[in-house]
Structure 1
């Protein structure tokens, strides 16, 4: 992919080399993300942030990443607070707002909608989640997290075993992530989900066509082999289309006993968040909060350097950004 001036709408645009480039730039930007250095590489640039569906982490992460590069953020939140509530088309909205900004990040509840924005936009558009379709920047920060966690454990991503648990039908994060992971070599994917919430067939077929082993399960046991990553998602209740989820049993409750059954001391536990912490949710259990294998907060932290890297690459400031670094003048938290 040629990043400069381009939209990022789908992980289908990315090669393994593209992923590695984004991660390399993100690693270089870690001092800024961790508030050890300041840059004003994007001073004067404006990000238009349109989150027309609920978001906390992604919206604030994009805004923080752009601000740490020295840019300004202008945002609108919720369909009811946008002119689209008055009947304005996606095309008109995109054309107008792209006249105000240098780049846009967009989340929309309908699959394919962000591509419509991009078609009418005068500036690059980054997909921050479109319905049940994709979430490419989440997938990139997830890959970055796995690479960093594996490096600390002297493990490699190639040839690893990833267990996806939960709502694999509407969970857009897993759609993007499994496609990116399939760019690596000799992967094994176990997909644990109720039959009605299983991974869409076209995605499974794509992964298999790339030569990877896919195991589909509706209940435990998962597999006799230990897994390297447990990636769990909540039920996307806001996207259900009449499915009955009574079959979402304790087999899908990812707690300490679950992880010990399918993994070992080196297994990484991930979740795109938010998790549903109510007792009946059968999501990621809070009994893992003190477990060093739990990477969910390290995962969210890595969203900042990854999104900074994308802004830097798309707006053309990545090559010599270290030359712009200076020390912060405020007291930096530990």
Structure 2
């Protein structure tokens, strides 16, 4: 076949709308066997699918609609061209993605997992330099991008804070972008003003990635969030089409939910329950864009109304730094706090609880409760871990090296843990 076994099987499952468990049952094999066929071909555990699977997949390929899908996917060329921003290999908005191109990126992220889990190393970006320009406070996003670039063999130059930059001296975004482009091979930019990262991108031809532009967007966060949901659903035997997603908290200024609801709306029949304190509701423009593919959007005033039957709860903190003339302290009351008692009352045992972090754990903040820390439904740390393979995939695609990664991998030489967190083993299929 002209595409890899992994890509072909994944596309067949998505086309048939089958989970791994259902697909395995359909062809009469164990789930563990299917998992080995879906590994990258360079993996030590990879196995070639037997003849019975080839015959089954062959029947699917004979379907003219599926053949047309493969043909259309192949025609536009490399993924970085298909997601280009105004003709440039940059990532500024989730609007650059279709459902197919997002899932193509996730296939690249799947390939990055052995590296992200410290089992393999790759040097495909050796010699490349990343400029991390963060004009706004960040810990997770900045370190995650830097780590992702380094794990592909590149190096990172960091700058943090507006007051420590030349822009504090009056330098324009255009000048800053053009100067930095002469020093580095890619830029990751976070800036407090909406639309500012697009200005950085317009001033250069090197890859620029939007790491958050004020209340605007956070595309890489939305991609890792969607990747997490799909991964969790695969583990639970669920499909994203037709799911119920509840978004809770500051939906007005929370850029992560703006980007995520746009990506999720690429799927079909999703029910969105939007639960926000008065004055922090989701912007109408975002709601209008998300209302497609038969998706239903309902605005709720309480957790009792919004969380009932939810497959995914996505909680956000109050973005106090965005408030202008508004009372940030009174925005959240205990009535809007997602806690163990709340999800026990309204949700099922397999509900997924997510948060983009940081969460405000101080008393009275009423953000996502810490009493969920030992609850298997809390996916926030699996969520942050997924930031590494997703951001590795973004860099590999934008810099055009994704086809080199698989054959560049070699075993690590240092001792590494089988899993990072004390309770991660069962979720990652590790011994």
Smaller-chain TM-score bracket: over 0.9
* Structure of larger gyration radius: 2
Deviation at 1:329, TM superposition (A): 1.3
Task: Answer 1 or 2: higher relative contact order, Cα 8 Å, separation at least 6.
Answer: 1
2:254 alignment counterpart:
171
2-side partners of 1:10 and 1:291: how far apart?
33
Deviation at 1:243, TM superposition (A): 2.4
2:84 alignment counterpart:
none
CA contact (8 A) 1:230 1:259 kept: no
1:255 to 339, 360, 366: 339
1:305 alignment counterpart:
389
Q: How many residues align?
A: 334
- Normalising by structure 2, we get a TM-score of 0.76
Note if 1:325 corresponds to 2:402: no
Deviating beyond 6 angstroms after TM superposition, the runs of 4 or more aligned structure 1 residues are none
CA contact (8 A) 1:104 1:125 kept: yes
Deviation at 1:195, TM superposition (A): 2.3
1:116 alignment counterpart:
199
2-side partners of 1:132 and 1:6: how far apart?
23
User: How has the CA–CA distance of structure 1 residues 103 and 223 changed in structure 2, closer, same or farther, with 3 Å as cutoff?
Assistant: closer
1:150 to 199, 215, 233: 233
2-side partners of 1:267 and 1:97: how far apart?
44
Note if 1:14 corresponds to 2:14: no
1:78-120 per-position Cα deviation (integer Å, ceiling 9, x unaligned): 1111110111000000000011111110000000000000000
Deviation at 1:209, TM superposition (A): 4.1
Note if 1:269 corresponds to 2:353: yes
1:50 alignment counterpart:
133
Which sections of structure 1, spanning at least 5 residues, go unmatched? none
1-side partners of 2:191 and 2:397: how far apart?
24
2-side partners of 1:107 and 1:114: how far apart?
7
Counterpart of 1:29 in 2: which secondary structure? helix
User: How has the CA–CA distance of structure 1 residues 132 and 224 changed in structure 2, closer, same or farther, with 3 Å as cutoff?
Assistant: closer
1:241 alignment counterpart:
324
Structure with the bigger percentage of helix: 2
2:80 alignment counterpart:
3
CA contact (8 A) 1:99 1:122 kept: no
2-side partners of 1:65 and 1:248: how far apart?
34
CA contact (8 A) 2:274 2:306 kept: no
Deviation at 1:259, TM superposition (A): 1.1
Deviation at 1:218, TM superposition (A): 2.0
1:86 alignment counterpart:
169
1:278 alignment counterpart:
362
- Normalising by structure 1, we get a TM-score of 0.97
Superposed CA RMSD in Å reads 1.3
